[in-house]
Amino acid sequence: MTRSNPTLNLTRGLPKGADVVVLGMATISQSAPALVGVTADLDKPFSKAYGHGVAEVATSMSASAKREEVTVLPPVDGTRIVVVGLGDADVTPDAVRSTVGAALRTVAGLPGAEGLDVAVSLEVTDPELLQAAGEGALLGAYKFEPVTGKEQATAVASVSLMSAVTGSEQKEAVNRARVIAEAVCQARDWGNTPPNLLFPETFAEAARTFVRDDRIAVEILDEKALEKGGFGGILAVGGGSARGPRLVRLSYSPRGATAHIALVGKGITFDSGGLDIKPAGQMAGMKFDMSGAGAVVSAIHAVASLGLKVRVTAYAALAENLPSGSSYRSSDVLTMFDGQTVENYNTDAEGRLVMADAIGRAGLDKPDLIVDVATLTGACMVALGLRTGGLITNGEETSDLLLDAAEIAGEDFWELPLTDATRESLKSTVADMRSGTGQRWGGALVAGAFLEKFVPDGVAWAHLDIAGPAENPEAPYGYVPKGGTGVAVRTLVALAELIEG
């Protein structure tokens, strides 16, 4: 599960031997769309070969400024030109990220694409826009390597971002883009991996391998350690599988750090629903139920690689939820890590149980902020669709911080309420609380209210429900492929950067 990503470079001019050059088409005021990024090195051979410059040829082929629309021009001297619509010339980082992503998806899908060296020329010099272009390029070029004995060709070998300014700020922006995009690609890979290959033990070891070159301490608790530690939720959920659960703790503690974030990720490597088994048609995508864990492991790696001066502790709560004679049941009473007891109402609401244990353990680290990430509820998908995640917090300041981070990252989250009535609905007559209500309405809010009960008093907390955007089951768009998306990684890294200041 080790991938080879394209290299990402910053150059002033057109690199020699570029196989593909990406240009932009933008609308300037009310004028006709104009081509962005054309250089004399490109225009001269085009005029010689076709009697017209690149702009004229692009116009004759109906190249458009419509956002993400891609037109492939005929090759000249072994170089192919790809024109992508930018929309308005006054572009935003997310517009750049999505349009460059769309262009690179097209490039990676060209017939015979193998080992291509791609140059992106959009006349961009602003560090924020360069970072967005770099992220879009690497994320758009992403392809999951299938499980096969056949040798697989790498479509894109390198990406060069052309900029008239190549100072230290621009170079640092491109490096950030590389680190963050590679982390997202790893999270995508874990999500896309078949569940017979990625289960708690192998996922835990993959996480250890992924951060081995970072200044990150790794602790992995197996079944015996979990039992000794009293992790009743994780043990219950994982009890029905022959593949035992794991809790991975990753700790990054740089010198000079004054703030501490705890990240908690749901890592259900396959969710059958347990004894409350899912219908067959709803089970196929359940390999993505570990996307929260993939996000937090990938994010802490990116934070460490960037050398951010903020302490981060990440927990990946890993289990496989299967039905068997040793499965936990609806109406079981579980004793959680922090000593609270829970009346379980449904074995298909397993994610909140493993997360509750991990949040309770994270509380012992005394962080300033706990952020949990989980593909937690179908109810959140019903409310917000497939491209927007839900946000629940225990304070307005925390909400603002997370929404600012998401906006910087270009990821969509929408805040949901947490009310006293929802909290009251979790009362139980046989335990300290119930894990749910059994009612159809407000399911995302109920799950959030349950998790809140395991957050230590006085600690800021945010819950990201990524059930919708963690997997894209439909056609690719922008820099988002079909399958695992790696959502929340960029938001978590942006959060760490905001807290670092």
Give the helix/strand (H/E) hosting 139. helix 127-140
Q: What is the pLDDT of residues 192-207, one digit of tens each?
A: 999 999 999 999 999 9
Q: Helix, strand, or coil here: 284?
A: helix
Using the predicted structure, report yes or no on whether residue 147 has a pLDDT greater than 90: no
DSSP helix/strand/coil, 287: helix
Q: Indicate if the pLDDT at residue 231 is higher than 60.
A: yes
All domains of the chain in start order, with CATH: 7-174 (3.40.220.10), 198-500 (3.40.630.10)
Burial of 403 (0-12, 13-18, 19+ CB in 10 A): middle
For residue 440, name the pLDDT band (cuts at 50, 70, 90). Answer: confident
CA dist., res. 311 & res. 366, Å (int): 11
Q: How far apart are CA 251 and CA 315, in angstroms?
A: 9
Strand 246-252 versus strand 311-321 pairing type: antiparallel
pLDDT digits (tens, 9 = 90+) for 406-432: 999 999 999 999 999 999 999 999 999
- 481 to 7, 89, 101: CA distances (angstroms): 19, 26, 10
Taking the C-alpha atoms of residue 385 and residue 316, their distance in angstroms, rounded to an integer, is 25
CB burial of 473-484 (b: ≥16 within 10 Å; e: otherwise) equals eeebebbbbebb
Q: Report the chain's mean pLDDT, rounded to a whole number.
A: 96
3-state helix, strand, coil in the chain (%, to 5): 35, 25, 40
- 16-65 tens-digit pLDDT: 989 999 999 999 877 778 999 999 888 998 889 888 999 999 999 999 99
Query: Confidence band (pLDDT; 50, 70, 90) for 439?
Result: confident
Given 278, 387, 423, 482, the catalytic residue: 278
- Length of the chain equals 501
pLDDT band at 278 (very low <50, low <70, confident <90, very high): very high
pLDDT at 472 (0 to 100): 97
Reported as type and span, the H/E element at residue 460 is: strand 460-465
Would you place residue 150 in the very low, low, confident or very high pLDDT band (cuts 50, 70, 90)?
confident
Q: Of 45-49, 117-121, 252-256, 344-348, which gets the smallest average pLDDT?
A: 45-49
Q: What mean pLDDT is predicted for residues 183-195?
A: 98
Q: How many whole angstroms separate alpha carbon 242 and alpha carbon 330?
A: 20
50 phi, psi to nearest 5 deg: -120, 0
User: What pLDDT is stored for residue 2 in this prediction?
Assistant: 57
Digit-coded pLDDT (tens) for 357-394: 999 999 999 999 999 999 999 999 999 999 999 999 99
Structure confidence at residue 485 (pLDDT)? 98
Mean pLDDT of 333-344: 98
Helix (H, G, I), strand (E, B) or coil at 166: coil
352 is catalytic: yes
Known catalytic residue at 434: no
Of 4, 310, 7, 389, give the one whose Cα is nearest residue 186. 4
Which of 80, 266, 287, 352 is an active site residue? 352
> What digits encode the pLDDT tens for the residues 88-128?
888 999 999 999 999 999 999 999 899 999 999 999 999 99
Task: Read off the pLDDT band of 1 (50, 70, 90).
Answer: very low
Task: Kindly state the DSSP code that residue 285 receives in the 8-state scheme.
Answer: G
Query: Could you give the C-alpha distances from 85 to 35, 82, 487, in angstroms and in order?
Result: 9, 10, 24
What is the distance between the alpha carbons of residues 124 and 489, in angstroms, rounded to a whole number? 25
Residue 284, phi then psi, degrees to nearest 5: -60, -35
The residue type at 197: L
